Amino acid sequence: MFRLNNVDIEDTFAELFEMWAGRILITAENEKWALTAANVSTGFASSIIGSPSEAGIEAIISPNETLDNRPGVMIQIYHQTREALKKQMISRVGQCIMTCPTTAAFNGLPSAARKLKVGRSLRLFGDGFQKKDEFKGRKVWRIPVMEGEFIVESTFGAAKAVAGGNFLIFAEDFRHGLKAAEDAVDSIRKNVKYVILPFPGGICRSGSKVGSLKYKLPASTNHPFCPAIKDYVSDTQVPKNVRSIYEIVINGLDIKSVKRAMAEGINAATKVKGVVKISAGNYGGKIGQMKIHLREIVK
């Protein structure tokens, strides 16, 4: 154990996994509709354990940084295989971005070696009236819709990325814990690029363990970290003065970005009164391909 801002930091590590990531730049007539498309297209995507993919908003992009000089939002989508990622990107672009007023969708990983034919697949929705075009040096499809045209890039990059970066916030009660978690999320989103926080509002209150003690499930509640049952669970990891634990989960395009996000979040969380301890979730190093030790990143 060591300390940061007078808060105990457990000398442990987060266990991370390699996944495939796609990155989509959504643009629209204004920020409202770009954010609407981004929020809808990254929905039901908190954890691959129970969701069809993992996804989240990376950043709001100013008009002078987008291809069509309109307000934009960058999102990321993750899956275990390229084929599954392609299907998710096609579904989410087609059902959530193309249907949203005024939007366009561009490849956010133009330098990636692997390409997924997302726009090329969606072009068929045009029922033969679609047109292939070039826009700012990018190959796009113009698909006629009732509003006008939906512009979507023909291919989208896919790259190996990092999923499962995390840390746990132990607090005296949920109000202090939630404040610390919110501050951690705000700090990460403000100061770190190339990462997403896939859980609702960036915060997970129901961390899971592999398998189940009683039922045939792939995952179940992480009972050693549930304060409500700490008095009668033999393997509880909850200190006596802790009544609430929140988890911050981070995916990123590279491990360096995830490390920085964890460090930013932990630093912000430990500045909140009522935070007792910071730890991280892992599987004993037996499942994930990467580790991030808290001692290594916390300074």
Kindly state whether residues 47 and 141 are assigned to the same domain. yes
d(CA 12, CA 298): 12
Can you give the pLDDT at residue 49?
A: 93
CA distances from 262 to 79, 105, 126, 245, 269 (A): 21, 30, 44, 16, 10
Can you give the pLDDT at residue 80?
A: 97
Can you give the pLDDT at residue 64?
A: 97
CB burial of residue 276 (10 Å; 0-12, 13-18, 19+): buried
Can you give the pLDDT at residue 288?
A: 84
Kindly state whether residues 98 and 185 are assigned to the same domain. no
Q: Which two tokens stand for residue 10?
A: 């457990």
Kindly state whether residues 256 and 175 are assigned to the same domain. yes
Contacts of 227 (CB under 8 A, 6+ apart): 238, 242, 243, 244, 245
CB burial of residue 22 (10 Å; 0-12, 13-18, 19+): buried
| Boundary residue ending a domain (159, 187, 203) | 159
Can you give the pLDDT at residue 279?
A: 98
Q: Which pTM value belongs to this model?
A: 0.96
Kindly state whether residues 192 and 88 are assigned to the same domain. no
Can you give the pLDDT at residue 297?
A: 96
CB burial of residue 285 (10 Å; 0-12, 13-18, 19+): exposed
Kindly state whether residues 240 and 293 are assigned to the same domain. yes
Kindly state whether residues 265 and 289 are assigned to the same domain. yes
DSSP 230-283: GGG-TT----TT--EEEEEEEEESSHHHHHHHHHHHHHHHTTSTTEEEEE---S
Contact yes or no for 262/15 (Cβ under 8 A): no
pLDDT by position in tens, the chain (length 299): 999 999 999 999 999 999 999 999 999 999 999 999 999 999 999 999 999 999 999 999 999 999 999 999 999 999 999 999 999 999 999 999 999 999 999 999 999 999 999 999 999 999 999 999 999 999 999 999 999 999 999 999 999 999 999 999 999 999 999 999 999 999 999 999 999 999 999 999 999 998 999 999 999 999 999 999 999 999 999 999 999 999 999 999 999 999 999 999 999 999 999 999 999 999 887 788 899 999 999 97
Kindly state whether residues 173 and 133 are assigned to the same domain. no
Kindly state whether residues 40 and 123 are assigned to the same domain. yes
What domain range is 123 assigned to?
19-159
Contacts of 74 (CB under 8 A, 6+ apart): 23, 24, 25, 26, 57, 58, 59, 60, 61, 108
| Boundary residue ending a domain (159, 177, 204) | 159
Kindly state whether residues 174 and 134 are assigned to the same domain. no
Can you give the pLDDT at residue 203?
A: 98
| Dihedral class, residue 102 (left if φ above 0, else alpha if ψ from -120 to 50, else beta) | left
Can you give the pLDDT at residue 286?
A: 77
| Boundary residue ending a domain (133, 159, 185) | 159
CA distances from 217 to 47, 202, 213 (A): 15, 25, 9
Kindly state whether residues 144 and 166 are assigned to the same domain. no
CATH number of the domain where residue 68 is located: 3.30.70.520
Can you give the pLDDT at residue 285?
A: 78
Can you give the pLDDT at residue 287?
A: 81
**Domain count along the chain:** 2
Kindly state whether residues 147 and 185 are assigned to the same domain. no
Q: How many CB atoms lie within 10 A of CB 216?
A: 6
d(CA 251, CA 80): 13
